[in-house]
Structure 1
């Protein structure tokens, strides 16, 4: 009987040890899966490999089937970088990473391969997969399965008047000012010398504002768009998101009545806002921000209850295309500009506080080209600058799988 008892104890110990080992493996794998890794191409002969959100990482690579090279990557904040130079065009590049875990240990990624000069930079790894996109490949009206519109000047139910979406904007939005042409979504801003009488007011400036509200929404993910926009006094282009709990209305038809208008949200900012990219006037900077209410739950707008956490980054010529994106996870939101060549976040906001519960709920996407308003300093656009165009190459949403 003692032998049976000893065997039972040894079996229990073996099961316990195996269970601990399995738990540790799962823990390490989970920690490693939170990291994102990949490469960018700073030039035609250099590769910058990166591993983000990891305490350390090693790069292992081969060129044209040669000997394997192994290097500890350089730590920058919570990101890891290593640049390989002098890579000839057409070279076959194979690589994988050893990614350190915050809880100890490390995990190897699978081998990956690409040809130098053989295409654009791929998306980062780390469990991300595309769940929705619009590449604007068909000229004409935007895809009705994806997009609705905001029409008018933002009727304010609080004071029963048009208040420029609460921002003092000057434009009247029309769906027809938003269309697909030559592979881009185009938002066109117009100025008419002769006034158009709508809702008992004269309107001279028209533009477009398009949204996935009522069609598509997401909770968490990487949200990105490649955008070129005007650099002109009195312009305010934006790529942003609002919570689906916001009670603003939308226009679902592309050809509504000329005086059709939508109502702005009465429960902002308690429904949440994420500004992926905003620009104003002739700045070389773009701006990132979030808005939330100090209270927990949905409430009508109240003075003194609105919070924000802004930032900005110099991107240079905004009339050229740049890739603007966020990575929105349960604990934080990270902003990126041109992450193919700049893989480090330009802004990070912690969203774990209890009164930031807005960011634990679904959001929808908005793209618009506003005119004048508080963000521009209420500057007046120059009539000679019209028409002006905001162009979007694509919009894409990734989520962790």
Structure 2
């Protein structure tokens, strides 16, 4: 489903071009310097099961404090083994949709990821006015599946490039201490190039081929999503180890530059 890609010399030139741009301005952030529920002026929730969210996922998303809260300077997203409706797990999926979205720039999320078979944490973006997936664009800044520990994936989805038709553009890199140390997961893009980085180190780059919207919908405004899924078509390929629960993704900050 995912393929390891090597950055070409052309991609490296694209990355260098982005990096050499004038310094960007911080336009949005959450430093999580408070306690309680996530700031409602910045975050909303996707709720429920939505028939597995298109991936046969096993969790029910809530806005309960036990699944999403701020404590000790960190946002905590927690997946738990507990039954709700006909599902055996709860979690949270925080979104900026309706609160904030961006076209181009740099998004940084400093996070520590959960470990364990069946976990599927993600830091990703969808078009603010998504009418049809994947036509309007998806950017995966970080995905990690617990049965393959340490391998962090970055990807894009569009009508012409997506995993459903086996044309997805993606790459992965190994992060040995993903569950023990905070790392900065980020995406940076302009009208020509999109690059995914960890701790400032690029590992995936995608270039606008100037073929039109079906190939490059990333001029759309994109909103941010933070979540932990349980199981699913990818995360659940090796089953779910119930001994891992509860499990947490901790986020130290989110910063957006334009």
Which TM class, normalised by the smaller chain length?
Answer: 0.7 to 0.9
In the aligned structure 1, how far is the partner of 2:20 from the partner of 2:119? Answer: 33
Instruction: Find the partner of 1:188 among 58, 66, 78.
Output: 78
Match of 2:184 in 1: 323
Match of 1:132 in 2: 28
Q: CA deviation at 1:379?
A: 3.1
Structure 1: tracts of 5 or more residues without a match: 1-76, 82-100, 102-122, 155-161, 248-266, 296-302
In the aligned structure 2, how far is the partner of 1:324 from the partner of 1:389? Answer: 17
Match of 1:232 in 2: 116
In the aligned structure 2, how far is the partner of 1:129 from the partner of 1:221? Answer: 9
- Which structure: greater helix fraction? 1
What secondary structure does 1:360 align onto? Answer: coil
In the aligned structure 1, how far is the partner of 2:27 from the partner of 2:108? Answer: 12
Match of 1:165 in 2: 53
Is residue 2:40 matched to residue 1:144?
Answer: yes
Match of 1:277 in 2: 142
Using CA pairs below 8 Å that are at least 6 residues apart, which structure has the higher relative contact order?
2
In the aligned structure 2, how far is the partner of 1:357 from the partner of 1:337? Answer: 23
In the aligned structure 2, how far is the partner of 1:129 from the partner of 1:329? Answer: 15
What secondary structure does 2:35 align onto? Answer: coil
User: So what's the TM-score if we normalise by structure 1?
Assistant: 0.56
Q: CA deviation at 1:80?
A: 11
The structure with the larger Rg is 1
What secondary structure does 2:140 align onto? Answer: strand
What secondary structure does 1:376 align onto? Answer: coil
Match of 1:338 in 2: 199
Q: CA deviation at 1:79?
A: 9.3
User: So what's the TM-score if we normalise by structure 2?
Assistant: 0.86
Is residue 2:218 matched to residue 1:359?
Answer: yes
Match of 2:206 in 1: 349
The verdict on how the C-alpha distance between 1:183 and 1:173 changes in structure 2, with shifts beyond 3 A counting, is same
Superposition CA RMSD, Å: 2.4
